[in-house]
Chains A and B, each alone.
Chain A
Amino acid sequence: MIEPSTHLRDKYALVGAGHSKLGKVPGVSAQGLLEEAMLNALDDAGLTTREVDGLICRGPDEIYTFHQVMGERLGIDVSFSTTLTNGGASQVMGVALAAMAIDAGMASCVLVGYGRDNWSRVHANKENHMRSSGRPQQMYGMEFGPEFGYYGAIAAHGFGAQRHMHEYGTTREQFGAISVAFRDHAIKNPDAVMQKPLTIEDYLAGRMIVEPFSLFDCSLQTDAAGAVVVTSTERAKDLRQKPVLIKGFGTGNNISGWFNDNNMTHTGAIQSGKAAYKMAGVSPMDIDYAQIYDCFTYMVLVQLEDYGFCKKGEGGEFVSSGALALDGILPTNTSGGQLSEAHVEGMLQIVEGVRQLQGIYGPKRQVPNAEIGLVSGHGGNTVCESTLILGAM
């Protein structure tokens, strides 16, 4: 059993957050989008590229050593830099890694960000659309998947949803409650891609894609980028924004496989959450809001269980109770999430987690009296999780 190092608690902070234009942004590369987000994050902090000595990022998977591409564009040499490849768990992990690098004396001011041009590349032509959205799950190379017509992250996550429905009686209406709650949040966020109200009837009428998931269970395909700046809490006190403390973080990686044991219904969030809570010295009861990785509705439901916001198997009732609304007991994905704001594999949820504690929103979007928030990253093809617990200064 691992013991997270509590000496890191509150020692490092997020001092700036930014995002690019979101949605359909033709004519801008993933690099260009990330550059915009990074510069916005630095502006938010009152810093420039000249003060950055660490760069942790991620971009399209086919670009080799993406951080080098970004460093060249920004014109910076840094002491610490890497590209992470842990799927949707990379971004929260990037913030954790930034804190660890600063603690080890490897850097003092680290930019963390992710940019992708998924809408533009998928919609460039019809052939791209089919190829990209039908990307086989390359867990085992080019076998044990595509020959059986198994395509897309949607199917892998669908297995988990189906098993959860079977074991705990979870329903599609309960998945729908998640989509509806996040759409309500998106409508309050002028930058969110989806601005049309969504009812549970709309959800249920959505066309089936890969059952049990229909159109409204699926996150968006967007061009988007997000970035944050990490430095020491000591230094943060002199910067522009109210610092947002990194209280704790954790990781959990069920890389024995999604098909193994009960990993489909008991995710890496169990271990990741325990570690993060312990480092932060808090429990689920202390969390004022959550930004939960929502590639598909089911992943929200199961992570809420695994983070201890409700009992295992009771996620369906929890999400249907109104808990996720801005005035609910656990306001969740308060900018609309990947289901309704934009999808940059969790990076925008870190940005939103920071902004809620910067206290920059008016009453329409602000979680009342928010002091502690949880941000999750999930992915690496279904089995990797990372968790961040943030606190107000």
Chain B
Amino acid sequence: MSDNYKKAMPVPGPESVPFWEGAKNHQLMAQKCLRCHHHWFPPSSVCTSCGSRDIEWVVLSGKGTVFSFVVFHRLYHKGWDGEIPYVVGVIELKEGARMLSNIIGVPVENVKCDMPVEVVFDDVTEKLTLPKFKPV
């Protein structure tokens, strides 16, 4: 945990508060349709598969695979100084929802599509926890 965290802080929209609160409690949250059991992300008011409004927030397993990824070799934000190259990936969770995060704990050249990963919670400040992913 750091008092002088220099990376961009997320500005949560009102609909995504459960996700960020969940992360603080080390739970990976997404929405689930009670009718068709589809899971999705980012948050909305309706099932993005069947259109039902009968939905709820649930805790995900945190396990998934790397759907795709990129490696940043250029510094776009000074908060990442000294961390180049770093990996940003699209993670496909076991439940089906996809979300953007960092893939950590692995040399960048070893990151592959469809590689199994699991969530790790990085408490970057007292108020912010980022769910990141590492190889299983």
Contacts and interface: CB of A to CB of B under 8 A. Distances in A.
Interface of A: 130, 133-134, 136, 140-152, 154-155, 158-160, 162-163, 166-167, 207-213, 256, 259-260, 264
A151 B76 contact: yes
B11 A166 contact: no
A166 B16 CA distance: 32
13 contacts: A130-B78, A136-B8, A140-B13, A140-B42, A143-B16, A144-B16, A144-B99, A147-B130, A148-B100, A149-B102, A152-B76, A166-B112, A210-B70
Given A144-B42, A159-B68, A160-B68, A150 B100 contact: yes
A-B pairs with lowest CB-CB distance, top 7: A134-B76, A143-B10, A146-B8, A211-B71, A142-B11, A166-B113, A158-B70
B80 interface: yes
Contacts of A207: 73
B48 A209 contact: no
Contact of A260 (B78, B98, B102, B130): B98
B90 A259 contact: yes
Contacts of B7: 147, 149
Contact of A211 (B8, B83, B85, B114): B85
A210 B99 contact: no
Residue in A133, A140, A208 whose Cβ sees the most chain B Cβ within 10 Å: A140
A264 B71 contact: no
A167 B113 CA distance: 9
A143 B13 CA distance: 8
B127 interface: no
Contacts of B80: 149
B77 A134 contact: yes
B79 to A, nearest CB: 8
B72 interface: yes
A163 B113 contact: yes
Given A147-B130, A149-B86, A259-B100, A141 B71 contact: no
A166 B102 contact: no
B69 A159 contact: yes
Given A142-B8, A151-B77, A211-B85, 13 more contacts: A148-B100, A148-B101, A149-B79, A152-B76, A159-B68, A159-B70, A162-B69, A167-B113, A208-B74, A209-B73, A211-B71, A212-B70, A264-B68
B12 interface: yes
Nearest to B78: A130
A166 B12 contact: no
Given A144-B42, A149-B102, A162 B11 contact: no
Contacts of B83: 149
Interface in B80-136: 80, 83, 85-86, 88, 90, 98-102, 112-114, 128, 130, 132
A145 B101 CA distance: 8
A210 B10 contact: no
Query: Which of the four size classes fits the interface of chain B?
Result: 35 or more
B75 to A, nearest CB: 8
Nearest to A165: B113
Contacts of B70: 154-155, 158-159, 162, 210-213
A256 B48 contact: yes
B9 interface: yes
Residue in B11, B69, B72 whose Cβ sees the most chain A Cβ within 10 Å: B72
B100 A145 contact: yes
A370 B66 CA distance: 44
Contacts of B132: 148
A389 to B, nearest CB: 32
Contact of B77 (A149, A158, A211): A149
Contacts of A154: 70
Nearest to B101: A148
A162 B115 CA distance: 13
Contacts of B130: 147-148
Contacts of B74: 208-210
Nearest to B108: A211
A162 to B, nearest CB: 5
Contacts of A211: 70-73, 85
A298 B42 CA distance: 26
A255 to B, nearest CB: 11
Nearest to B12: A143
A160 B48 CA distance: 21
A145 B42 CA distance: 11
A166 B73 contact: no
